[in-house]
Amino acid sequence: MHAGLRITAFAAALAATFGTAYGVGQGIDPVVKDPAPARHESHGEASPEAEGAGGRGAQETAAAGGLQISEGGYTLDLRTPSVTAGKRSDLSFVIRDSGGRAVTAFQREHDKELHLIVASHDLATYRHLHPARAADGTWSTPVDLPRAGGYRVFADFTPAKQDAGNLVLGTDLAASGSYDPQKLPAPNTTAKIHGYEVRLDGGLHPGKESELKLKVSRDGRPVTNLQPYLGAYGHLVALRSGDLAYLHVHPGGEPGDGRTRPGPQISFAATAPSSGTYRLYLDFKHEGQVHTAAFTVRAGAGATTAEAPAHDDGTEGHGH
C-alpha cells in the first residue's frame, strides 16, 4: 500500500480512538496552516500526507524529509502510537527493511546511530531524543510530553548499507489529555533560554542554500567556551509549519577542524523546500548542560524581519 494511504488510515484510526480524549468536540490535533499554503511535492510526486496536513499548492524547490513513513526500502514502525500527556512513558519503535526485518546495523551520524525528534503539530513542544537500541533492533526511550494533542515523530538515521544514504522517516503520535493548542510564535531573531540569549542572523530562502548564524551570550557577554554536542558546537533542526516537513541542516564546521571556534557564533547551511513559516530549534551545550533556543522564521513570500519580544520559553529540547 502507498505510504500516504497507510498514514491516512492510521490517522483515521487514531482519531476514532483518541479524539474524545483531547476534549469534547476535539479530534486529532489540527495542523497549523500558513496564511498562504503551498502544495508539497516530494521526489516528483505529490505527497498525500502533505496535501492532507498542509494543503501545499506550489511545487517544492528542495527536498524535505519526514513526510512519509517509508522511503528507500525502509519503514518506521512505531510500537507506541499513543501516550498520556504529562506522564512519563516509554516510546519504542523499529526500523524495518523492505523484507520487514528489523534493521540492526547503522552508521554513526553526529555521534549517534539514530536521532529521534518529537514535535507537536503546533510546534510548541519539541524533544530531541537519543533512544537505545536492543540487539533485536527495537529502539526505546522515555518521553514526557506536557500537552495533549497530535505529535510527529521523526527518525533521522543512515543504514549501514552503503547505497541507502541518510533518511528521515516520520509518523504520528497521539497524546491523550486536556487539549489546549498553542498559537505559533511570531517571527523572532532573538531567543532567551535559561539565562542565555541567542541571536539569529540570516534567513531561509526557497530552493537556495543560505547561511544561518547564531550567536550565544550570557549576562551580556559572548559565550566562547561552548562544548561539543553531537559532533558540533550546536545542532539545528528546522520544521515547516503546517505539514512539519523536516529540513536537512548542515553545521559549518566541527570541533577540532582547526578553524571552528567554540562560540560565540555557530553557523549552519540550510535550504527551505518552499516558502512558508518554519520553526528552528538550536541545541547547544555549555557547562555540562544542553539548552534549546527556538525561532520562528518565514521564507519566500511574506517573509519579514519584524521581531517578537524575546522571552525565556523554557524549551526542553535536549534528549537522552
**What's the domain range around 226?**
190-299
- Residue 307, pLDDT score: 55
Residue 179: φ, ψ to 5°? -90, 125
Q: Do 115 and 243 belong together in one domain?
A: no
Q: Which amino acid is at 155?
A: A
Whether 194 and 128 share a structural domain: no
- Look at residue 70 in the predicted model and tell me its pLDDT: 97
The pLDDT score that the predictor gives to residue 180 is: 87
Same domain, 265 and 121: no
Predicted local distance difference test score (pLDDT) of residue 310: 56
Q: Give pLDDT, residue 187.
A: 97
- The CA distance from 166 to 186, in Å, is 32
| Beta-bridge partners for 97 | none
163 shares a domain with 197: no
Q: Are residues 23 and 172 in the same domain?
A: yes
Mean pLDDT of 70-99: 97
Does 183 fall in a domain?
Answer: no
**pLDDT interval class at 6 (50, 70, 90):** very low
- pLDDT higher than threshold 90 for residue 198: yes
Domain boundary among 125, 146, 176: 176
Q: What is the mean pLDDT of residues 81-94?
A: 97
Residue 61: the pLDDT is 47
Q: Above 60 in pLDDT, residue 314?
A: no
Using one digit for the tens of pLDDT, what is the confidence trace for 41-81? Answer: 333 333 333 333 333 434 454 568 999 999 999 999 999 99
Q: Domain with 273 in it: what CATH number?
A: 2.60.40.10
**Domain end (from 125, 141, 176):** 176
Residue range 189-198: average pLDDT?
97
Contact 67, 76 (CB under 8 A): no
Instruction: Name the domain boundary from 176, 201, 221.
Output: 176
Q: What angle do CA 111, 65, 307 make, to 5 degrees?
A: 90
The number of distinct structural domains making up the chain is 2
Whether 207 and 157 map to the same domain: the answer is no
pLDDT number for residue 303: 58
Work out the angle at residue 49's Cα, subtended by the Cα atoms of residues 46 and 51, and round it to the nearest 5 degrees: 55
For the segment 90-119, the average pLDDT, to the nearest whole number, is 96
Q: Write down the mean pLDDT value for the chain.
A: 81
Q: How confident is the model at residue 157 (pLDDT cuts 50, 70, 90)?
A: very high
Per-residue pLDDT of 240-279, as tens digits, reads 999 999 997 889 999 999 999 999 999 999 999 999 999 9
Does residue 21 lie within any of the structural domains? Answer: yes
**Quick one: 146 and 26 in the same domain?**
yes
126 near 117, Cβ under 8 Å?
yes
Model-wide pTM > 0.85? no
Looking at the structure, do residues 87 and 203 belong to the same domain, yes or no? no
pLDDT of residue 248: 78
Assess whether 9 and 112 both reside in one domain. Answer: yes
pLDDT for position 45 = 33
pLDDT over 90, % of the chain? 69
Q: Is the peptide bond before 264 cis (omega within 30 degrees of 0)?
A: yes
CA distances from residue 27 to 22, 24, 181, 218 in whole angstroms, order as listed? 7, 9, 12, 42
pLDDT reported for residue 302: 56
> For residues 161, 164, 165 and 169, what is the CA-based torsion angle, rounded to 10 degrees?
-110
pLDDT at 87 over 80: yes
- pLDDT level of residue 162 (50, 70, 90 thresholds): confident
Distance from C-alpha of 257 to C-alpha of 131, rounded to nearest angstrom: 28
